[in-house]
């Protein structure tokens, strides 16, 4: 594609050089540059792409997009240089142009919120596929392009990768694409200019305050998705959440509200939470729908209501909606059960915020009348404010707590644990706790072994924080580590000792 075509729609400050050159690839990473590449220098969270312009030139870049104050390069460049005020905005637009605006050829459904995004996307996919539609998925667990599944690097990938995935989904015959939309992606303009058919808001609770200045900043980031919805597009909002109520007045889209405690368009009623799933009735504009699902917990009632909103926005009949929801048996790393074969059950879950941990442990209480043994940690280089809150929640809703590491990254694992212990000790002082005690085991493998070794008949072991993840990040290195694998190995070792 000619550079002239690629830069259509950009707010340009200055162009030098011949824009008639042919571009065969786009990248923002100088290590991926080869002849024919357009290199877009963006300011990242840790590094600035402008510092790597020389590397990109040496690697054979054909053209550059830079911000107003590019790094001086000597000798002067003979290649075309496009100067813009915001290179992230430019990256989003050239990616759309390069991949021929794939969102125009599909129905794109975006799901955002702190918790529930992944399960909601799985539910939506299940309903749509039950109607014989081909559905692409972009999310925390994986990307599915209609032909094959690949591991997810980010919940919502950078603009070039995002548009490339959408194009592959269109080419593979997908009619719908369901994508999780993170607050990072919205703030960093990864989906800027992309036209969504439907936007979903699940909830907002404390998370990512290492990136956002405060909860209001976090909310305003999420709100970007809804502010950009046109008056013909559909918006599905949880109005039991106070932030959802605020969103109602911030979008031009056609709103379908959902909730349990509010007089919503889609309202869950007569909710029955059982050990083997949930059952309830839903009042909708299309009539009542009876729902029976193997998913557990009140939070999954909300996820189901959100998926019903999307289905109704696509005029899917109630019987198809109910069948699609029932056919989803489980979601990777979301209340994923492992039977020990020794009278107790292990649950692995992605819960990594205070709210998610509380909801998880409340749901877990329906699975046992005996002890809940909770193992969790907090990620390094992330929101430090949630660490004591999670410690407090674990002590209030568990019978025994094991604190360990969870992707410490460049932080000292024991320093992270100290933040958790602040909340645990405060909870103990208040006396309003359920837990009889706690233990600190920084090594996660050893911690999982301990949790399984102390479990007795009827107990429930909850391993929280990583869920589907199959790695542990220590320093800047990523090592293979899967809670589910480690739990199964620990079970086998315990069995072998008993035999």
- Nearest alpha-carbon partner for 92 in 4, 43, 5, 158: 158
Q: What is the arithmetic mean of pLDDT over 464-473?
A: 95
Confidence of residue 275 (pLDDT cuts 50, 70, 90): confident
Report DSSP state, residue 43: B
Q: Render pLDDT for 417-459 as a digit per residue (tens, 0 to 9).
A: 999 999 999 999 998 899 999 999 999 999 999 999 999 999 9
> What is the distance between the alpha carbons of residues 304 and 116, in angstroms, rounded to a whole number?
10
Query: Rounded to 10 degrees, what is the CA torsion of 9, 15, 21, 25?
Result: -60
350 or 46: which leads in pLDDT: 350
Q: Render pLDDT for 358-381 as a digit per residue (tens, 0 to 9).
A: 999 999 998 899 999 999 999 999
Alpha-carbon distance values, 193 to 26, 174, 235 (Å)? 17, 20, 17
Mean pLDDT, all residues of the chain: 95
Label the pairing between strands 460-464 and 372-376: parallel
CB distance 89 to 148 below 8 Å: no
Q: What is the arithmetic mean of pLDDT over 218-233?
A: 95
Confidence of residue 46 (pLDDT cuts 50, 70, 90): confident
Q: Render pLDDT for 190-216 as a digit per residue (tens, 0 to 9).
A: 999 999 999 999 999 988 888 888 999
Structure tokens at 1: 């594609």
Label the pairing between strands 345-349 and 460-464: parallel
What domains appear along the chain, each with residue ranges and CATH number?
3-98 (3.40.1390.10), 102-326 (3.40.1190.10), 336-498 (3.90.190.20)
Q: State the pTM of this model.
A: 0.94
Is the pLDDT at 68 greater than 90, yes or no? no
DSSP, collapsed to helix, strand or coil, labels residue 374 as strand
């Amino acid at each position: 594609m000619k550079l002239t075509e690629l830069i259509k729609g950009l707010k340009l400050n200055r162009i030098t050089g011949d824009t008639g050159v042919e571009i065969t690839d786009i990248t923002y990473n100088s290590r991926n540059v080869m002849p024919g590449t357009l290199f877009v220098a963006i300011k990242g969270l840790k590094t600035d792409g402008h510092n790597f312009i020389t590397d990109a030139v040496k690697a054979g870049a054909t053209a550059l997009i830079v911000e107003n104050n590019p790094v001086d390069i000597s000798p002067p460049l003979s290649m075309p240089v496009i100067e813009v005020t915001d290179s992230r905005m430019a990256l989003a637009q050239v990616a759309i142009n390069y991949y021929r605006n794939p969102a125009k050829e599909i129905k794109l459904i975006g799901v955002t919120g702190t918790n529930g995004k992944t399960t909601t996307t799985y539910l939506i996919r299940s309903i749509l596929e039950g109607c014989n539609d081909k559905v692409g998925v972009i999310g925390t667990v994986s990307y599915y392009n209609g032909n094959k599944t690949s591991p997810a690097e980010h919940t919502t990938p950078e603009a070039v990768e995002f548009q490339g995935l959408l194009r592959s989904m269109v080419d593979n015959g997908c009619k719908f694409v369901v994508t999780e939309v993170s607050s990072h992606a919205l703030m960093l303009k990864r989906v800027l200019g992309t036209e969504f058919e439907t936007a979903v808001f699940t909830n907002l609770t404390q998370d990512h305050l290492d990136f956002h200045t405060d909860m209001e900043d976090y909310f305003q980031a999420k709100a970007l998705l809804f502010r950009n919805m046109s008056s013909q597009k559909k918006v599905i909002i949880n109005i039991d959440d106070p932030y959802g109520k605020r969103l109602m007045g911030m979008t031009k889209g056609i709103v379908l509200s959902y909730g349990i405690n509010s007089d919503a368009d889609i309202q869950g009623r007569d909710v029955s939470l059982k050990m083997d799933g949930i059952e309830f009735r839903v009042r909708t504009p299309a009539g009542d729908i009876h729902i029976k699902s193997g998913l557990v917990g009140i939070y999954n009632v909300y996820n189901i209501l959100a998926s019903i909103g999307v289905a109704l926005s696509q005029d899917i009949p109630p019987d198809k909606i109910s069948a699609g929801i029932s056919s989803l048996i489980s979601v990777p790393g979301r209340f994923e059960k492992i039977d020990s074969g020794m009278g107790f059950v292990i649950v692995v879950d992605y819960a990594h915020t205070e709210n998610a941990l509380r909801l998880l442990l409340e749901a877990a209480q329906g699975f046992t009348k005996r002890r809940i043994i909770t193992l969790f940690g907090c990620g390094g280089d992330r929101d430090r404010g949630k660490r004591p809150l999670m410690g407090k929640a674990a002590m209030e809703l568990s019978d025994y707590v094991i604190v360990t590491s969870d992707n410490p990254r460049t932080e000292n694992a024991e320093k992270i644990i100290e933040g958790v212990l602040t909340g645990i000790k405060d909870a103990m002082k208040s006396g309003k706790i359920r837990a009889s005690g706690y233990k600190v085991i920084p090594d996660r493998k050893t911690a999982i072994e301990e949790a399984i070794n102390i479990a007795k008949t009827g107990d429930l072991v909850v391993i929280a924080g990583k869920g589907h993840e199959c790695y542990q990040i220590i320093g800047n290195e990523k090592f293979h580590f899967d809670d589910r694998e480690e739990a199964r190995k620990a079970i086998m070792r315990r069995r072998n000792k008993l035999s």
